[in-house]
Structure 1
Amino acid sequence: MMKNNHMATQRIYNQQIYNPQFSAPEDVVKHMVAMQAQDYAGAKWAIALRTHNVSEDAIEQAITNGKILRTHLLRPTWHFISPQDIRWILALTAPRINAINAAMNKKFELTDHVFAKSNAVLVKALAGNKQLTRLELVNVFEQAGIASDELRFTLLLMKAELDQVICSGGRVGKQFTYALLDDRAPITPVLTQEEALAKLALGYFNSRGPATLHDFANWSGLTVTDAGIGLEQVKSQLISHVIEGRTYWMPNSMADTLSQKTKAYLLPAFDEFAIAYKDRDALINPQYLKQARHVIFDPAIVVDNQVVGTWKRTIKTKSVDVHLNLFGPLNKTQEKAVEAAVSQYRKFLFLK
């Protein structure tokens, strides 16, 4: 029977955190299908953890060049996504997100007519490969007579994302921009709903298995019924194990976990290692379940594939301080692994 630690080890491997196989940041995002990214700095580090020797500047450049896009995609929240995958996933998930947003849209009197007008205004303002900041788009809306207080403005932009009108552009300094999706992503074949469900399910279980159907539904924001339709179509390409009455699905090639040496990782908040599962107990050293109850929201220290503490950073002019909050003692080998993880993070930032 697969124990919790073994399950976490398989997840670390399939998520490309242990022994990353990719050199290009965009290949990591493609493998992961979608990566939660509302904490922008942390999400870039999440990509780096899964990439062989890549800098923050290289990831930023991939985003600027449109090799990685950022948009509201699942549940809904910000995600990094491949330009090749953004359209079919939006086509699958947008109807459910629109339903979730319906009450808020009604509260702010955002009707289909208003959204049609705002989308048309965005198309005109961003035409010709333009990329505009949020402040610039507020001015665009105001000039068009569209009220855009902060929350209303956010809803207008999210609807345009879900309607495949806009997505992220490159940053201007520290300011985020928006661009037309047609300028940043290729036109891709339209999938039927069943095809899209199957493709999303296979991508999820290959990159995050072992996981359950409910894990997949929770991560994707799909109903359990729709998630089950997707899983049913790809079961033949996966393997499964029943643990304590729950069926876990995973890639059909299992990782050789016996050869893994003690390693440590500094995971950002909202990392897919935590966020991708409804039940997260397998990720946490059993003696620290109480301390790690906020494992999704806190940057986590992982040793031997289990969460054993939290960490935070303080950026200085030419350096970064990393503050560790360990839940309990480590042995010398584990301490050295944590030191290596801190060094890896400093290297990523090009700071000593």
Structure 2
Amino acid sequence: MGRRAAVTLDGLELAHRRTGAVGLGGAPPVPFAGAAEVVGWFGALQSQDYHPAKWAVAQRLGPGVTDVDLDRAFDDGVILRTHVLRPTWHFVAPADLRWLLELTAPRVHVLNAYAYRRGELDGPLLRRTTDLIADAVAGANHLTRTEIAALLARHGILAERFRLGYILIHAELERVICSGPLRGRRHTYALLDERVPRAASLEREAALAELVRRFFTSHGPATAKDLAWWSSLTLADIATGLSLAGDALENTDVDGVTYWSAPGDAPAPAGHPSVRLLQAYDEYIVGYRQSKHLLDLGGLLVAAPDKLALPNGVIVVDTQVAGRWRRTVRAGAVVLEAVLYRPFGAAETAALHAAADELGVFLGARAVVSVSLL
């Protein structure tokens, strides 16, 4: 396919190259000027939990970015939050939302089919609820989930908890609604046409090529099965996208597995340990299935897989999982409880405290660190 194969790599070098691609290995592959550029680099960035997901964006933007800054960007529609790729929330840049939904929504509907049946949500009912919601939020009349549930109840439609969730997901996948600005701490829904500029559609093959290129550039080295998990696309679609991507991607085989990435050298090692406090749904953690083992080349998690059941997030030293952490915000302080899977040396301990201080700046609070060993 006209691509040159990279030199043979071992697992640690693959992981090192990957941290650079995901924007965690020192200087990012491209300088990110703002939240939309971070999200656009990935195509979509998982935001299952809104507040930790903002921290994932801030970590790629560098020191000084605050939680308030990202709330403002979200309220202004610089980044949006909706269901795309998989049955979960993602941050998406407005410029990408329409073509991503056109490409992936049919697959997500298939994945949601059992949930639709369980909620007795057939096609006519879902079309009716979507139309009612669209009319209600038109004219920048942004509504919360509770208000939408009350609206539907007035029309004789039961919409609570699970059922309401899938009514809203359907409307999002149909490109009718997306996130609106926050109202205090509550999320709202807005009419997508009022929130996202009109844009020309991409032909399906062009969209496939772009999503495949975007994933392997921002997540590589990674495998086709990793992308199938991340995007819900079939392996046949991914093969088509790879054939269309041309020289934008290169591949290498390691232990009989083919990894794809953008051409280029890995970032130079920092020369000192780097500690990252990643949210549990950071792209470095959830963006992979087949090659997720690259996070744990030393096998720290093999004996106790429940360690991945994290309350807040993952501690990563350089490229490898080394612990878990939880934050508690109190008056004027953020208390960071770090549970380590192995003892840290002096340099790693200093880097952990520096990472906690970055989190404190983000939250506008003094960081207090508590460390224990599992």
Counterpart of 1:26 in structure 2 is 36
Which of 320, 323, 334 is matched with 2:337 structurally? 323
Give the drift of 1:318.
Answer: 1.3
1:293 matched to 2:305? The reply is yes
Which of 296, 309, 312 is matched with 1:284 structurally? 296
1:126-157 residue CA offsets vs partner (Å, 9 max, x unmatched) = 11112111111111111122221222211111
Counterpart of 2:353 in structure 1 is 339
Counterpart of 2:370 in structure 1 is none
Q: Is contact 1:87–1:164 with CA below 8 Å preserved after alignment? A: yes
Which of 243, 253, 275 is matched with 1:232 structurally? 243
Q: Aligned with 2:82: secondary structure?
A: strand
- Of the structure 1 ranges 9-18 and 103-112, higher mean CA displacement relative to structure 2 is found in 103-112
1:62-116 residue CA offsets vs partner (Å, 9 max, x unmatched) = 1100110101112211101011111111111111111222232223332222122
Q: Aligned with 1:286: secondary structure?
A: coil
Q: Is contact 1:9–1:257 with CA below 8 Å preserved after alignment? A: no
Q: Is contact 1:291–1:327 with CA below 8 Å preserved after alignment? A: no
The list of structure 1 runs, each at least 4 consecutive aligned residues, that deviate by more than 6 angstroms after superposition, is: none
Q: So what's the TM-score if we normalise by structure 1?
A: 0.96
Which of 152, 177, 183 is matched with 1:172 structurally? 183
**Whole-Å separation in 1 of the counterparts to 2:308 and 2:102:** 27
1:188 matched to 2:199? The reply is yes
Residue type of the partner of 1:282? L
Q: Aligned with 1:172: secondary structure?
A: coil
**Whole-Å separation in 1 of the counterparts to 2:306 and 2:258:** 25
Q: Aligned with 1:29: secondary structure?
A: helix
Counterpart of 2:153 in structure 1 is 142
Counterpart of 1:8 in structure 2 is 15
Give the drift of 1:261.
Answer: 3.3
Give the drift of 1:277.
Answer: 0.8
**Whole-Å separation in 2 of the counterparts to 1:238 and 1:10:** 14
1:208-247 matches, within 5 Å, as 208-247=219-258
Q: Aligned with 2:170: secondary structure?
A: helix
Give the drift of 1:297.
Answer: 4.9
Q: Is contact 1:167–1:180 with CA below 8 Å preserved after alignment? A: yes
Q: Is contact 2:48–2:90 with CA below 8 Å preserved after alignment? A: yes
Give the drift of 1:41.
Answer: 1.3
**Whole-Å separation in 2 of the counterparts to 1:194 and 1:314:** 46
Structure 2 unaligned segments of length 5 or more: list them. 1-7, 367-374
Q: Aligned with 1:256: secondary structure?
A: coil
1:194-243 residue CA offsets vs partner (Å, 9 max, x unmatched) = 11111100000111100111111111111111122112211421122110
What is the aligned-residue identity percentage?
36
Q: Is contact 2:87–2:112 with CA below 8 Å preserved after alignment? A: no
Q: Aligned with 1:188: secondary structure?
A: coil
Q: Is contact 1:292–1:309 with CA below 8 Å preserved after alignment? A: no
**Whole-Å separation in 1 of the counterparts to 2:71 and 2:309:** 23
Q: Is contact 2:15–2:294 with CA below 8 Å preserved after alignment? A: yes
Q: Aligned with 1:152: secondary structure?
A: helix
Give the drift of 1:285.
Answer: 4.6
1:269–1:135 Cα change, 3 Å: same
1:303 matched to 2:317? The reply is yes
Counterpart of 2:126 in structure 1 is 115
Q: Aligned with 2:323: secondary structure?
A: strand
Give the drift of 1:307.
Answer: 0.8
- Of the structure 1 ranges 22-31 and 256-265, higher mean CA displacement relative to structure 2 is found in 256-265
Q: Is contact 2:21–2:219 with CA below 8 Å preserved after alignment? A: yes
Q: Is contact 1:29–1:81 with CA below 8 Å preserved after alignment? A: yes
Q: Is contact 2:301–2:307 with CA below 8 Å preserved after alignment? A: no
Structure 1 unaligned segments of length 5 or more: list them. none
Q: Is contact 2:20–2:267 with CA below 8 Å preserved after alignment? A: no
Q: So what's the TM-score if we normalise by structure 2?
A: 0.90
**Whole-Å separation in 1 of the counterparts to 2:303 and 2:189:** 39
1:117–1:197 Cα change, 3 Å: same
Count of equivalent residues = 352
